[in-house]
Amino acid sequence: MGKCMIDHTLEDVKGKLADQTPFMPEELIARVSDSLTEEADQEFLNDVFHLLKKYDLADETEREERNEKLNDLVK
């Protein structure tokens, strides 16, 4: 996954999470959602957005890798 030069807003990331919710583990959804606050820095928001982007199209192996990265980000 390459680095994107677009900064994603908190609202963008929340919207992307909402779009991908049907495809994600419930526990992970809650953890990511809880971490999306006004205090979240831009790098965090961009990283989460890109892990969520096209999550629904990823195969099981790719989803597991993304889940792991998301879990690391929201610890």
**pLDDT (tens digit per residue) in 2-61:** 566 789 999 999 999 999 999 999 999 999 999 999 999 999 999 999 999 999 999 999
Q: Check residue 32 and give its pLDDT.
A: 98
How far is the C-alpha of 74 from the C-alpha of 60, rounded, in Å? 21
How far is the C-alpha of 35 from the C-alpha of 72, rounded, in Å? 12
| 1 has pLDDT over 50 | no
Closest CA to 65 of 2, 74, 75, 55: 55
Question: Between 2 and 71, whose confidence is greater?
Answer: 71
How far is the C-alpha of 63 from the C-alpha of 70, rounded, in Å? 10
